[in-house]
Amino acid sequence: MPASPTFSIAVLISGNGSNLQAIIDAIKNNELDATIKLVISNRQNAKGLDRAKEAGIPTLLVDHTLYLNREEFDQAMLDALTRYQPDLVVLAGFMRILSAKFVSALCGKLINIHPSLLPLHKGTHTHKRALEANDSIHGCSIHYVTKELDGGPVIAQSQVPIYPNDTEELLAVRVQKEEHRLYPLCIGLIAKKKLELVDGAPVLDKQPLTNGGIKFRQSNYDTYYLK
Ligand code: NHR
Ligand code: GAR
């Protein structure tokens, strides 16, 4: 039997690209059986572009400031994705809101990592807002992207504690450490066809995923599921 082709992904970034790096490293370390076909950035100075080049991955700059409106910017990215035909498109610190057309063209094949325990703290400045709200736990969520901003069905979450004298910076580091484990793991579940979107709802091992998806806690990945 011929070997099935490797699961392919495209990663969209705007900045540092530490999540991109975590995916690159997971592939390199054989923890994730996938290949990154393309990295798109909307910012020329994104450090993630250097990380991609370093790893020998094709890169594309689609500078949103050069387009008349969001639709034309999105169309330029969609054209590139149509050329590369990835199995999955991964938003990793991508900071531009995507149009309904873009999202529906990639329905079930577009995921995002968001630095909060959704549905809490949608949008930006999530660490600051978690501190201001006096939350005692915080974390990150992976979700399928829909036209509702940060409102698509959640696949998995990882929790971290918030300590009394925490700062935004300390919290960001703690959450990002979880992001770097959670994202490759979720991509792996999708690559292995264990996880998919069926009629708008995430399904894991043929069971619908409810209640904010698979739950992880800091340093507790061995247990895989938390009750
Ligand atoms: N697009 C859709 N349709 N749905 C989602 O769930 C999306 C999305 C695009 C990006 C990531 C998201 C996050 O994880 C994401 C989810 C940017 C903004 C934002 O306000 C909000 C949420 C997210 C990303 N962006 C400003 C804008 O006008 C620009 C901010 C900037 O450039 O720094 O696009 O939080
Ligand atoms: C990550 O923490 C991600 O959750 C967040 O930006 C960071 C990007 O880091 N995403 C958003 O805030 C989306 N609005 P990275 O570029 O180092 O992966």
pLDDT tens across 145-166, in order? 999 999 999 999 999 999 999 9
Q: Is residue 181 a part of any domain in this protein?
A: yes
- Write b or e for each residue in 41-65: b if 16 or more Cβ atoms lie within 10 A of its Cβ, otherwise e: bbbeebbbbebbeebebebbebebe
Q: Rounded to an integer, what distance in angstroms lies between the CA atom of residue 89 and that of residue 117?
A: 22
User: Which residue, 122, 117, 13, is CA-closest to 60?
Assistant: 13
Ligand 2 site residues (CB inside 6 A) read 13, 15-19, 48, 92-93, 95, 113-115, 124, 140, 176, 179
Q: Is residue 141 a part of any domain in this protein?
A: yes
Q: What CATH number is attached to the domain comprising 35?
A: 3.40.50.170
Q: Is residue 2 a part of any domain in this protein?
A: no
Structural domain range at position 69: 8-224
Task: Quote the ligand 1 centre to 39 CA distance (angstroms).
Answer: 18
**Ligand 1: does its nearest atom lie under 6 Å from the Cβ of 15?**
no
Q: Is residue 1 a part of any domain in this protein?
A: no
Q: Is residue 101 a part of any domain in this protein?
A: yes
pLDDT tens across 65-115, in order? 999 999 999 999 999 999 999 999 999 999 999 999 999 999 999 999 999
pLDDT at residue 220, rounded to an integer: 59
pLDDT tens across 37-68, in order? 999 999 999 999 999 999 999 999 999 999 99
pLDDT at residue 46, rounded to an integer: 98
**What residue has token string 């969609």?**
78
CB of 84 closer than 8 Å to CB of 105: no
180 is catalytic: no
Angle (deg, nearest 10), helices 18-28 and 47-54: 20
Q: Is residue 94 a part of any domain in this protein?
A: yes
User: Which residue, 122, 188, 124, is CA-closest to 155?
Assistant: 188
Ligand number nearest CA of 179 is 2
Domains in the chain, number:
1
**Ligand 1: does its nearest atom lie under 6 Å from the Cβ of 9?**
no
Q: Is residue 213 a part of any domain in this protein?
A: yes
